[in-house]
């Protein structure tokens, strides 16, 4: 039974909705109905949201599998916290003007760490 992963899935879903609302806000302010019209703010908002959509579901799936395979709560929480912190830092660092590159990089590092550790743990637990 999943008891920990749903907490991180919910928190990341809230982050994703916030990023989506930002895309809508930028669309409205720039009067951009479809696409990005070459607008740098629109491109940035879209990429921040898309980056979250590209990495978070896959990572959450791996974390859920690790939890379902019986991993301890400490590992599952560390994976979830790493993913959540990574997504928050990436979005914040990327979203600033000028970008805070180190936060963006740390965010990706934490996201990749969560994915890789969850993948390795999943393999270990399955074997």
Residues 19-70 have pLDDT tens digits of 999 999 999 999 999 999 999 999 999 999 999 999 999 999 999 999 999 9
Contacts of residue 98, defined as CB under 8 A and 6 or more positions apart, other chains included, come to none
Contacts for 79 with CB less than 8 Å, ≥ 6 apart: 59, 62, 63, 66, 114, 117, 118, 121
pLDDT tens digits, one per residue of 85-113: 999 999 999 999 999 999 999 999 999 99
Report the alpha-carbon distance of residue 115 to residue 79 in Å, rounded.
8
- Print the domain residue range for 50: 5-126
Q: What is the domain count for the chain? A: 1
66: domain CATH number?
Answer: 1.20.120.550
């Amino acid at each position: 039974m999943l008891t920990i992963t749903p907490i991180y899935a919910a928190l990341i879903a809230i982050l994703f909705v916030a990023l989506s609302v930002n895309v809508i806000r930028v669309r409205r302010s720039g009067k951009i109905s479809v696409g990005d019209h070459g607008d740098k703010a629109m491109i940035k908002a879209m990429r921040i949201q898309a980056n979250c959509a590209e990495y978070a579901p896959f990572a959450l799936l791996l974390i859920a599998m690790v939890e379902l395979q019986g991993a301890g709560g400490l590992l599952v929480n560390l994976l979830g916290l790493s993913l959540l912190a990574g997504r928050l830092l990436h979005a914040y660092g990327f979203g600033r003007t000028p970008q805070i590159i180190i936060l963006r990089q740390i965010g990706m590092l934490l996201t990749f760490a969560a994915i890789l550790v969850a993948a390795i743990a999943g393999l270990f637990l399955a074997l």
